[in-house]
Amino acid sequence: MELLELEEVHAGYGPTQVLHGVSMKMAEGEIISLLGANGAGKTTTLRAICGGVRWDGAIKLSGRSLHRMSTEDIVRSGLAHVPEGRGILTDLTVEENLRLGEHLRRDRDQVRKDYVRVFEYFPVLRERRRLSASTLSGGEQQMLALARALLMRPRLMLLDEPSLGLAPLVVRAIFEIIRDINRADGVGVLLVEQNARLALELSTHSYVLEVGRVAVAGLSSELKGNDSVRRSYLGY
Amino acid sequence: MQEFLQQVVSGIASGGIFASLALALVLIYNAMGLVNFAQGEMAMFATFVAYALIENGMSYWIALPLALVLAFAGGVLIQRVVIRPVERAPVLTLVIVTLGLATLINGLAGFVFGYIPRSFPSPFSVQTVSVLGALISFRDLGVIAVSALVLVLIYLLLQRTTLGLAMRAAAHNPDASRLLGVRVSWMLALGWGLASAVGALSGIMVAPILLLEPNMMQTIIIYAFAAAVLGGIESPLGAVVGGLIVGITVNLAGAYLVGGDLQLAVAFLIIVAVLVIKPNGLFGRPSVRRV
Ligand SMILES: Nc1ncnc2c1ncn2[C@@H]1O[C@H](COP(=O)(O)OP(=O)(O)OP(=O)(O)O)[C@@H](O)[C@H]1O
Ligand SMILES: [Mg+2]
CATH number at residue B78: 1.10.3470
Residue B33, domain member (yes or no):
yes
Name the residue at shortest CA distance from atom 30 of ligand 1. A39
Same domain, A182 and A207: yes
Sign of CA dihedral B173, B167, B151, B246: positive
Same domain, A158 and A72: yes
Same domain, A61 and A176: yes
Same domain, A130 and A176: no
pLDDT for B110: 95
List the domain range (segments joined by +) for residue B206: 2-277
Same domain, A112 and A67: no
Same domain, A171 and A227: yes
Residue percentage of chain B with pLDDT more than 70: 98
Whole-number Å distance, alpha carbon A37 to ligand 2 midpoint, is 9
Contact residues, chain B, for A90 at CB < 8 Å:
173
Write the ipTM: 0.93
Look at residue B288 and tell me whether its pLDDT is greater than 70: no
Residue A84, domain member (yes or no):
no
Q: How many domains does chain B contain in total?
A: 1
Residue A119, domain member (yes or no):
yes
Of A137, A153, A169, the residue that ends a domain is A153
Same domain, A11 and A123: no
Residue spans of chain A under pLDDT 50: none
Same domain, A74 and A172: yes
The whole-chain average pLDDT of chain B stands at: 91
State the nearest Cα–Cα gap between B86 and chain A, in angstroms. 19
Same domain, A56 and A166: yes
Same domain, A19 and A124: no
Q: Distance from CA of residue A91 to its chain's centroid? A: 23
Residue A83, domain member (yes or no):
no
User: How, if at all, do strands A156-160 and A79-82 pair?
Assistant: parallel
DSSP assigned state of B189: H
Q: What's the rounded Cα separation, in Å, for the pair B269 and A7?
A: 63
Q: Distance from CA of residue A77 to its chain's centroid? A: 16
Mean pLDDT (whole number) for B213-217 = 95
Same domain, A148 and A158: no
Residue A98, domain member (yes or no):
yes
Residue B283, domain member (yes or no):
no
User: To test ligand 1's pocket by mutation, which of A42, A54, A192, A234 has the most ligand atoms within 8 angstroms of CB?
Assistant: A42
Nearest 5°: phi and psi at A89? Answer: -90, 100
Residue B284, domain member (yes or no):
no
pLDDT for A190: 97
Residue A85, domain member (yes or no):
no
Look at residue B85 and tell me whether its pLDDT is greater than 60: yes
pLDDT for A106: 94
Give the DSSP H or E segment for A34: strand A31-36
B278 CB within 8 Å of a chain A CB: no
Whole-number Å distance, alpha carbon A213 to ligand 1 midpoint, is 14
Residue B205, domain member (yes or no):
yes
Residue B116, domain member (yes or no):
yes
Give the DSSP H or E segment for A4: strand A2-13
For residue B159, the chain A residue with the least C-alpha distance is A96
pLDDT for B205: 94
CATH number of the domain where residue A204 is located: 3.40.50.300
Mean pLDDT (whole number) for B158-167 = 95
List the domain range (segments joined by +) for residue A72: 4-78+154-234
Q: What's the rounded Cα separation, in Å, for the pair A51 and A53?
A: 6
Q: How many domains does chain A contain in total?
A: 2
Asked if B196 and B74 touch (Cβ cutoff 8 Å), the reply is: yes
